[in-house]
Amino acid sequence: MITVWVDEITPCLKLAKTGEMVDTEVVRIKRKSFLQNYNSRNGWYTNWAKLAGEYEIFALVIKGTMDIQGLVAMKDNKDAGCAYVDWICANPESNPLLNDEKKYIGIGGHLFAIASDRSNQYGYGGEFYGFAANEKLLHHYIETFGVTYIGMLHDYHFILEDVQAKNILEEYTYEWTDEEI
């Protein structure tokens, strides 16, 4: 499920209270033991440790730290000829559905960019498909990024195509690290 709200298009994350821009990195997480602390009981919507066996998990972190601001679970779906994103989730501290005051602005768009970037690495030009958590989010993604509604496998099934992916990737800056946890 893709559960993030794209609040603002920002090249880096922005501290909500001060407006200060904060650089980010992407780290791949492989260890289920590390992901055990990221689950539905504490606002991460799903048990991320269970996803690690089937999907690649990427974390958006504050540069130089392991301060995770969002997670993406995805895989190369060769049968579909496209990347599949199973989950995208923001840190509960910055999730407007869980907190009135967000810590960071810009997480949702960054996570879409990470998924598009990884899709590029798979060879799909940034395209990916997934399922919005609800109708409101689906329409939000259509309006914000121009995703295309498919509705075949799920009521809120959509695809982000290569043109939209290129636009997203031009907006966001972050570094991929070679580090894996």
Each residue of 36-46: pLDDT tens digit? Answer: 999 999 999 99
- Which two three-digit tokens encode residue 146? 């121009």
The predicted-structure confidence for 63-90, as pLDDT tens digits, reads as follows 999 999 999 999 999 999 999 999 999 9
Percent of the chain with pLDDT over 90: 91
pTM, entire model = 0.96
Question: Is pLDDT at 180 greater than 90 in this prediction?
Answer: no
Q: How far is CA 146 from the centre of its chain?
A: 16
Report, at the CATH architecture level, how domain 13-176 is classified. 3-Layer(aba) Sandwich (3.40)
Domains of the chain, residue spans: 13-176
pLDDT score of 178? 81
Whether residue 72 contacts residue 87, with contact meaning beta carbons closer than 8 Å, is answered with yes
Question: Is pLDDT at 158 greater than 90 in this prediction?
Answer: yes
Give the confidence band of 99 by pLDDT, cuts at 50, 70, 90. confident
- The span from the CA of 70 to the CA of 67, in Å, is 9
